[in-house]
Every structure is written in C-alpha cells, then in structure tokens.
Amino acid sequence: MHVRYKSSLYNIKICVYNDVTSVIFIWLVGGSPEGWLEMLTIKALILTAYVYYCEGTSRAVLNDRPIIGVLSQEQSKHLHSKFPDENYTSYIAASYVKHVEAAGARVVPILIGKNRKYYEDLMKKINGVFLPGGATFFNQSNGFADAGQHIYEIAQGMNRSGDYFPIFGTCLGFELLIILASGRGEKENRVKCYSFRNLSLNFTNDFRSSKMFKDATEDIIRILETEDITVNAHQFCILDQNLKSHNLTKDWRVTSHSKDDNGTSFIATIEHTRYPFYGVQFHPEKIAYEWKASKNYPHTMNALHTNRYFMDFFVSECRKNYHRFPSTKEENDYLIYKYVPVFTGELGSSYQQCYFFEPRGVDTKYNLDLLKDKHDSYYRTDLY
C-alpha cells in the first residue's frame, strides 16, 4: 500500500536513514574548494527536494506495536449481584479484550467517570479506541455515554489536526457512535426493535469501495452474505431513516443491513466518510470467546475466521497511529495485564470472563499485585 497516512517527521527520518545517510554526508561535504558555499547551497536544495519526494512517496511506516483503549461500562445489575461487597464501578467483558489481542494489539482499559483531561492524556498514548457492547443507559452522568462523548470529540480533534485516530463501536458502542453524531438530545436517535439471531449481511451496492471492506477477501464477503454467522443481540436498531432525519447520510456511509426478527431492515455495518470511525451492530467477538450454551452462538470455522476480520481490519487502522507511552514503566502501569479476568461464566453470566474496575466497597480489587501477595494462584481466589 503506497499511502500517506499523515505527514510525519518520523517517516522522513526513516526514509533518509534507511536509504542514503552515509552517501549524503560524503556528497554534501565533498567537492571543490572554489565556490564551496554555492555548491553547498545547491546540494542542500537538492537534498531538501529529495526528502520531500521521499516522504511523499515512501511506504508509510506502520506502527507494529499498537495499543488499543477499550472503554469500560457501568457495572451490570447481574454482575453486581455476584460481587455486591466489592461494588465495582465498571467492567469490561474479556471477549472484547481477546478479540483485540488476537489481531495483534495490546489493550489498555479506559475507565468511566473521569474528567476530560484523563481521556485526553490517555488518548495521546494509545492508537485507537474500541467501544464495546453491553447494556447501559446513555442518559446517565459519568458513565459509558459521557466517556464515549469525550472520546468521540477528542478523536475528531486529533483527526482534524492530521493525527489519524480510529474508533470502532460494536452493538451498544455502535449505537453510541450514531447517537453522539446525532447529538445527545432529549430523544435518542435509535428505534426499538428486536434482534436475537445469527444473521447474514445484505451489502449495499457500493460496499466494495468502503474502507471496511475494500481489502476483505472474496471468501469473507461470500460467507457474510450467504451464511447466518453474525451474532445479533439488541433491542434497539439504527435505521436508514435515523441517518436521514439527522442529516447524517453524508458523514456516515452504510455498507450493509440485516433484518430484525420482525423483518425491519437495520444498519449492520457503517463507517464515517472522513474520520476513521467504524461500527457494527452485531458481535464479532462472541464467536471465538463466548460459550454460554443457551445463547447458541455459531462457532464454525467459517464463522470464526469471518468475524475475526473486523478486528484485524480495525487494528490495521490503528497501526496508522503513532502515539505511544513515554516509558515502558508507564505503559506497563496502564496495560490490562495489571488486572485479572474473573470466570463469570460459571456464575451464570453470559460473559465467560470479565475484568472489574474500581471497587467502591471492600478493597478486594482483582489487581495482580494484590493477588500475588494474597494467593498462590491468580485465578483461584476466595472471593466467590
């Protein structure tokens, strides 16, 4: 791919260092003693021109150590009932984390209920944000929606200043993206619907030229189109008319629809036309990582490799961002490896494993350091 993602000094340096450093130095300082100043000026001009050319045409150097922020959300009622004493503030289902990790990225949890500066500082150090699905209200303060709004606005600002910053929303996260784009007003820009099935995608006519699908293999497209392997579990839908009523059809490009249990055609995949923002209404992460038997998730090889495509795509977008933590120490402090996922599947949750954050009750946080001191094994604790 010969694409320029952004004009970065980093690219120029790589280009010059790799190709010609030593040659240039010899050439620049060498030459006849007469008129050396003119000669040097001419040479410097040629070098500048070369650097511009080189920067403009070289392969963009991708970030192959991407770190993705995954937004937490308000602790669910069900999970709270399993850990009432801890009274955790928020959680992340581990399937989202594994889904991102499988695509070659590391994960940093993003907490809810923080001030703008927290999100700004963190987003300068990570390469994209993933907004998971789940169940929470958009109208409450200091939760998923407020955090999502900070993230959305900060990412827009970064992108406008030439700093490529991708966001991907799944299910509730996808709905949040569209509601943020619509403006979080009185009435949420989504409709009640009912969709609890594995579905295929009905692609729009020009989906093949979209950012999300232009590099997908024929095989992946064929399976998405012909097999019911996208997992739907939502009671709200975004319809074409939701985009129209809020003048969003120029900014957001719909690439496929599916039908709910009632036959209503809802938007299944979408992307922003200018920003690297993407959304899917279904749950690609469940195929490989969620196993609650009563949910009947498809686990076939076709379902597996096709659903995996969405995070591979997103992480490849995040590789175009060059943010990083100033030190390994700070990076380590933020990475999700500091937390230990809990086997919530055996407690009846539809999530196999979850990460929990910020207990407001007794201090039994599943923190690696704490557990190391108290228990032989990180996974066997006496907390439940």
Ligand X SMILES: *[C@@H]1O[C@H](CO)[C@@H](O)[C@H](O)[C@H]1NC(C)=O
Rule CB under 6 A: which residues touch ligand X?
6, 84, 87, 137, 139-140, 159-160, 162, 164, 192-194, 197-198, 202, 204, 246-247, 257, 262, 274-275, 296, 298, 360-361
In terms of Cα–Cα distance, which of 78, 113, 254, 105 is closest to 177? 254
| 202/350 with CB nearer ligand X | 202
Q: Shortest distance, CB of residue 146 to ligand X, whole angstroms? A: 12
Number of H helices, E strands in the chain: 14, 15
3-state secondary structure of 310: helix
| 104/298 with CB nearer ligand X | 298
Point out the catalytic residue in the list 150, 283, 323, 354.
283
CA–CA gap between residue 171 and residue 72 (Å, rounded):
14
Q: Do residues 357 and 88 touch, judged by C-beta distance below 8 A? A: yes
| 110/231 with CB nearer ligand X | 231
Q: Shortest distance, CB of residue 171 to ligand X, whole angstroms? A: 16
Beta strands 129-131 and 67-71: pairing type? parallel
| 206/330 with CB nearer ligand X | 206
The torsion of the CA quartet 358, 361, 363, 366, rounded to 10 degrees, works out to -50
171 catalytic? Reply is yes
Host H or E run for residue 125: none
User: C-alpha distances in angstroms, 138 versus 100, 153, 195?
Assistant: 24, 16, 20
CA–CA gap between residue 116 and residue 132 (Å, rounded):
20
| 209/247 with CB nearer ligand X | 247
The torsion of the CA quartet 194, 197, 199, 204, rounded to 10 degrees, works out to 10
Q: Shortest distance, CB of residue 257 to ligand X, whole angstroms? A: 6
CA–CA gap between residue 234 and residue 172 (Å, rounded):
8
Q: Shortest distance, CB of residue 150 to ligand X, whole angstroms? A: 18
What are the percentages of helix, strand and coil residues in the chain, rounded to 5? 40, 20, 40
Q: Shortest distance, CB of residue 174 to ligand X, whole angstroms? A: 19
Strand partners of residue 234: 195
Task: Provide the CA 81 distance to its chain's centre, in angstroms.
Answer: 29
Token look-up 């001030």 returns: 115
| 223/336 with CB nearer ligand X | 223
| 107/276 with CB nearer ligand X | 276
In terms of Cα–Cα distance, which of 100, 29, 28, 116 is closest to 67? 100
Q: Do residues 51 and 15 touch, judged by C-beta distance below 8 A? A: yes
Q: Shortest distance, CB of residue 229 to ligand X, whole angstroms? A: 7
Q: Do residues 188 and 288 touch, judged by C-beta distance below 8 A? A: no
Q: Shortest distance, CB of residue 232 to ligand X, whole angstroms? A: 9
- Exposed, middle or buried, 165 (CB in 10 Å: 0-12/13-18/19+)? buried
Point out the catalytic residue in the list 99, 150, 171, 237.
171
3-state secondary structure of 279: strand
DSSP tag of 62: P
Q: Shortest distance, CB of residue 124 to ligand X, whole angstroms? A: 16
| 201/311 with CB nearer ligand X | 201
What positions carry a catalytic annotation?
A: 171, 283
